[in-house]
Amino acid sequence: MTDDTNKLSHQPITEAVQRVLEQGSTAVLITLIEAAANVGAKLLVAQAGTTVGSLGAAGLDEAVAKYAASFLNSREEVRTFKVQEVDPGLVDWTDAQLLFERIQPEPRLVICGAGHVGASLARLAAFTGYRVKLIDDRAEFLTRALYPEETIELVVAAAWHDAVRDAIGNGRGVSVAVVTRGHNEDEECMRAVIARHPDYIGLIGSKRRTNIVLDRLRKAGADETKLRNVHAPIGLDIGAVTPEEVALAIMAEIVAMRRGGKGASLSAWRRM
């Protein structure tokens, strides 16, 4: 197979991967990396179960497509499997190996409020590999002199609700941290957030302050299930005091939620 032919054979896969990323969705790209034949063949399995491409055998494609769902649920990014692990019944592929790779957009964080905590959180999130949208209604808080990072998008809000809604989009792969300067701003942002379906919602403030905002949303008819999923107060309990420490506590909880972590001390077993 010539290089040009190989590029053509993988073109549908490349286009499908691009669609997944544009839609903010998730998929698994499976590559046959060791086998008697068809090494390099690829199959893309979308989260909905639809497929593009082929590994060269209908039975193998079917088994791998079914197994892809468990890989997506595992939160792993990449892993090599023997075909026997996927389906022991595929005896013709006993020695074959598959590379599973998660395909998804880079993680995104929408931050409502560019005060001390919001500013620290934006910089930390960008450093951690997140694409950030930092929103505030005060233009002087959102200048490139303050945020030279290309992965931080600055959004001056004419209206909090509209700016937050547009920033979240369909919510896939999006975490939202509401860290504004007051109850009214918090509530306006939260109305927009609750109407969407982001992966994570966090609201800063004391128990009393966050309860006030959540109670207002509840009285306004917000879905109780969505309200229960709000992390309020936001972040893990690390005894944070400074804005930078609070940002670290928030980022730690966001990463834990994304990766399926428990947020506990890794050395706790030593003291049991």
Indicate whether this model's pTM tops 0.75: yes
CB contact at 8 A, 120 and 246: yes
At residue 3, the pLDDT reads 42
CB contact at 8 A, 218 and 224: yes
What is the b/e burial string over 88-101, where b = at least 16 CB atoms within 10 angstroms of the residue's CB? eebeebeebbbebb
Identify the CATH number of the domain defined by range 108-259: 3.40.50.720
pLDDT tens digits for the chain (272 residues)? 444 434 434 668 999 999 888 887 889 999 999 998 899 999 999 988 899 999 999 999 999 999 999 998 887 889 999 999 999 999 889 889 999 999 988 899 999 999 999 999 999 999 999 999 999 999 999 999 999 999 999 999 999 999 999 999 988 889 999 999 988 999 999 999 999 889 999 999 999 999 999 999 999 999 899 999 999 999 999 999 999 999 999 999 999 998 888 898 999 888 87
H or E stretch at 232: none
For 233, phi then psi, to 5°, come to -65, 150
Q: What is the mean pLDDT of the chain?
A: 91
For 266, phi then psi, to 5°, come to -70, -20
At residue 8, the pLDDT reads 37
At residue 2, the pLDDT reads 41
The residue ranges of every structural domain in the chain are 3-103, 108-259
At residue 236, the pLDDT reads 97
CB contact at 8 A, 106 and 86: no
At residue 119, the pLDDT reads 98
